[in-house]
Chains A and B, each alone.
Chain A
Amino acid sequence: MPATFSRRCLGCLLLLLLCTRVSGGTPADSAMTTQDSNQTEVNSVTKMQAEHESSGPAVATEKLKPASKQNSQSVSEHEIVLSGAPVEKSVSVPSPTKVELTCKLDENSHLKDPQVTWKKGSETISHTSKSRNSWTIQLTISDSSHLGTYTCILKGEKELSAVFHLQVPKIEGREKPIITYEGDRAVMVCKTEYNPKAWIWYMNMTNGTGQVSIDKVLPTDKFLIKRQSAKVSRLEILKLTKEDRGVYWCEASFDLGTSEARFELRVLSFTAPLKPFLAIVAEVAILVTAIALLEVYSKRKEKRGEKESDQIEQLKSEDVPRRRK
C-alpha cells in the first residue's frame, strides 16, 4: 500500500533531524581524572592495610597532599597498620615540614604488649604511644639529612616491622625510548605531584663530556623549554637530526634536594616504517589480484558448464515433442 505524501514528508524530516543531531559526546574518560582532580590541600591520615601484601615486603607510594602553608603548624601524618608481613612505605617530602609516623598494630594480631623501637639506620629515636596499639614518632624535616629510612620494630612472640622511606618527591619520565623521525620534533614531558622550585634539563653530549645543561646550549630555534604548569616541564627539540639521539635528563629541584628522570631519544629516518608499509601494500595487492583472477576463472568454468547444460536441455526438449508425435 503506498503511503501518503505527508507520511513520506515526515520520513524526510526525520532523516534531516537525525543528520543534524550532533553526534558528539564528551569522551568517556572523564572519570579517570576523578582521583587527580580531587586532591585537596588538607593534611590527611593514610592507612595501609598489610593484608594485601602477603608475599614479602611491599612498597607503596603514598600521595601526600601538599600542605599549603610551610609553617610549623602543618604536620603530615602517616600510618602503617601491621598484621603479618613487613610493610614498606614511601613518603614524599617536598619541603621542610613536620612529619608524624605511626605504627599501628592490627586488632586481630596476637601480639600482646610488644616492645617497640623506632630507628633511623642504627640510631634509636624516642617515641610516644598515642593509644594502646599505636606508637608514634614526630620528626621535623628541615634539611636533607633528616630524610632517610625510619623503621619501627615490634618485638614480642613474633617480630613485626614497618619501614618508612622519607625522600624527595620522584618525578615521572619515560622508561622506554622515545622514537621520533628526522625533521620532526621530539617532546619530553616531566611531571611531578608537587611544586618544584626549578626545572633543569640536561643532555649528554655526544663527544662524551658528560651532562650539559640545555639552558646553556639553548639555540632557541632548536630547543624549547616550556613550563606548562608548576608541576610539568616540557622540552621540545625541533628539526631533529640523527645527532640528537641519546639520553636526556630532567631535574627538578625541591627545597630538600633534587630528583631526576631519564629519557632516551631515538631518531629514525622515514624509510624505517616505509619498508613494512610497502611490503604490506604489496601483499594486499597480490591477494586482491589473486582473488579477482580466481573469480574470473570460476565464472568461465560456470559459463562453460551452463552452455553444456543448455545444449543438453535443448536436445531433450526437441526429443520430447518428437516422442509425443
Chain B
Amino acid sequence: MPAPAEVGRAPGPPDGGWGWVVVFGAFLSIGFAYAFPKGLAIFFKEIQDFFGTSYSEVAWVSSIMLATTYGAGPISSILVNRYGSRPVVMFGGLLCGVGMVSAAFCTSILQLYVCVGFITGFGLALNLQPSVIIVGKYFLKRRPIANGLAMAGSPVMLCTLAPLNQFLFENFGWRGSFLILGAILLHCCVAGALFRPIGARTALVKTPVTEEGNDALKGKITEDGPMENRTEEEEGKDCFEKINQYLDFSLFKHRGFLIYLIGNVLMFLGFFAPIVFLAPYAKHTGIDEYSAAFLLSILAVVDMVARPATGIIANSRWVRPRIQYFFSFAIAFNGACHLLCPLASSYTGLIVYSSFFGLAFGMVCAMLFETLMDLVGAARFTSAVGLVTIAECCTILLGPPIGGILIDTFGDYKYMFIKCGAVMVLAGTFLFIMNYYNYRMLAKEEKERKRKEEDPKSVRTEDEGKKNWNKDSTQDGPELEPLREKGERVKKEMNGTVEV
C-alpha cells in the first residue's frame, strides 16, 4: 500500500496534454454556438421574399434561436450532470444537423421557426454549456488561457461562416445552403468526440481516505462520469435533494454567484445592441455599405486577438487572484467606449471606436465564464452556468429592441449608445464594489478555516475540511487550493490593506 503521505486530495486537473485538444474542440463548439445565429442573417432577405413576410418576422428566427440557446441552459446543465459532456455535445451536434437539414425542406416561415429556431437552437445550447464546462474540468492553473482560447472560437467562426454562407448562398440558394450547413454543423459531433471524460483519474490512488473523499463528494456531483455507484444513496433522498443533484439551486445562496448573476444580467442589457446597430449607424452617418461592413470585420479581427491575449493576461500572477476586478474593469471599459462613440462622427473615428469596441468585447467574453468558474468552483460550475444563461436570456433579448425603440423615438443613434454605455459602466462599477466586498468576506472565512484547521482535533477536521469544500456554506471554490500557496502572499497583502 502506498505511504500515507500520498493520501490526501485527489490530483488536480491535468492543465495540459489532452486538455489542449479539448480546448480545440471547445473552440469549434463555442464558435458554432455563438457565430451561427449571426451568420444566418445573410439568408434573411431571400427568405423574406420567398415567403412574402416582413423583415421582423424573419428576424424572429434569429431571436428564437438565440433565446433557445440561452434558455435551454439549465436543461443542458442537468444533462451534463447526469451524462457528462461528451454524449451531450454529440447529441447536440446531431440535433443541429437534423434541424438545419429539415429546415432545407420547409414550406412556411412557422416551420422555419421550429426547425431553425427551436431544434437547431436547442442543439447549439447542448453544445455551448458542456464545452465551457469541460474546459473547466481539464484546467486549473492555466484555465484563463484555456478559456480565452476556447472563446476565441466565436469571432474566428464568424469570420469563416460569413464568407462561406455568402458563397453557399450564391451557388445553392437558401435551401441548398441550409442542407450543407446542416452537414457542417455535424462537426460539433467531432468536437464532442474529443471531449474525453475526466475525473476518474483518482483510480490510480487506491486508498481508504480517497474512498472517504468519494463519499463526501457524493453529496454533489463533481465527476464527469455516470452515477452507478451512487444509486443506493438516491432512494433515501427526497425530491428536492434529487433536483439539487441535477441542478444546484443552493447556488442562489452563494454570495459570489448572486453578485455575478446580478452584474451580468445588468450588463447584457447593453452588450449586444451596439454590434447590431453599428452598421446601420455607420450608414446613417453617410458611410457606404461596404465600409460599414468593414467596420464589423475590424471588430471581429480585434476580438479574435483580444480573447487569447486577455486569457494570458488573466492567467498572470498579478491578475489571477484579482480576476474579478479585471472583469469589472473590462465591462466598464466597454461602457466607456460606447459613451464616447457619439463623439466619433467621421469614418476614422468609427474605425477607432470599432477597434476599441472589439478589444473590450473580446476582453469581456474571454472572462465571462472564467470569472464564474473562479467564484463557484469547477464542481458547481455545471449548474451555475445553466442558471446564469437562462437569467441572461431575458436581458439579451431585450437589449437590442430597447435600443431600437430609443433610436426610433429620438431619431438619433447616440441615445442608444449612451444607454448601453451607461448600463455597462453601472454594471462594471457594481461588480467592482461587490467583488471587493466578496474578497473581503472570503479572506475572513479563510482565516476562520485556518484557525479551525490548527485545532488539536486535526484528523477529523482534515476530512471535514474536504467535505466542507463541497457544501453550501463554503463560498470559496475548491479550485483555488493549489493556487493558495502562490496566492497566499497576495491575499495576505490584501488582508493587510483590508484590515487597516
Contacts and interface: CB of A to CB of B under 8 A. Distances in A.
Contacts of B172: 179, 268, 272-273
A24 interface: yes
23 contacts: A3-B472, A5-B240, A14-B249, A15-B249, A24-B60, A24-B67, A24-B397, A25-B67, A25-B401, A27-B60, A28-B404, A29-B56, A31-B280, A32-B55, A178-B173, A179-B171, A187-B50, A234-B52, A268-B176, A273-B179, A281-B183, A284-B190, A288-B189
Nearest to A3: B250
B49 to A, nearest CB: 5
B180 A30 contact: no
A23 interface: yes
A278 B240 CA distance: 47
A306 B205 CA distance: 12
A313 B2 CA distance: 9
Contact of B59 (A7, A28, A180): A28
A323 to B, nearest CB: 15
B393 interface: yes
Interface stretch (B142-150, B313-321, B370-378, B405-413): B405-413
A15 B411 CA distance: 39
B224 to A, nearest CB: 14
A45 interface: no
A116 B405 CA distance: 47
B52 A228 contact: yes
Interface in A133-147: none
Main secondary structure of the interface of B (DSSP, over half): helix
Nearest to B50: A187
B418 to A, nearest CB: 15
A33 B56 CA distance: 10
Given A29-B55, A268-B172, A276-B180, A281 B407 contact: no
A184 B1 CA distance: 73
Contact of A176 (B2, B170, B249): B170
A27 B186 CA distance: 28
A31 B407 contact: yes
B394 A23 contact: yes
Smallest CB-CB A-B distances: 7 pairs? A28-B400, A27-B59, A273-B176, A179-B173, A25-B397, A11-B249, A8-B240
B230 interface: no
A217 interface: no
B416 to A, nearest CB: 8
A110 B272 CA distance: 47
A27 B171 CA distance: 28
B360 to A, nearest CB: 20
A59 interface: no
A21 interface: yes
B179 A274 contact: yes
Given A181-B175, A277-B183, A29 B67 contact: no
A295 interface: yes
B64 A28 contact: no
B408 A34 contact: yes
B63 interface: yes
Interface in B339-376: none
A291 B190 contact: yes
A131 interface: no
A28 B49 contact: no
A292 interface: yes
A42 interface: no
Contacts of A278: 183
B176 A28 contact: no
Contacts of B190: 284, 287-288, 291
Contacts of B433: none
Contacts of B408: 30-31, 34
**Tier of interface size on chain A:** 35 or more
Contact of A33 (B55, B63, B74, B397): B55
Interface string B50-82: 101001100110111001001100100000000
B403 interface: yes
A93 B132 CA distance: 59
A212 interface: no
Nearest to A28: B400
B23 interface: no
A128 B179 CA distance: 64
Contacts of B176: 179, 181, 268, 272-273
B227 interface: no
B252 interface: yes
Contacts of B63: 24-28
B175 A12 contact: no
Nearest to A33: B55
Interface string A31-71: 11111001000000000000010000000000000000000
Q: Indicate the member of A15, A29, A317 with the most B CB atoms within 10 Å.
A: A29
A228 B48 CA distance: 13
Interface in B227-252: 240, 243-244, 247, 249-250, 252
Nearest to A226: B52
Q: Indicate the member of A3, A31, A38, A181 with the most B CB atoms within 10 Å.
A: A31
Contacts of B64: 24
A18 interface: yes
Contacts of B52: 187, 228, 234
A261 interface: no
Nearest to A228: B52
Interface in A292-313: 292, 295, 306, 313
B9 interface: no
A108 B405 CA distance: 39
Contacts of B250: 3, 11
A31 B186 contact: no
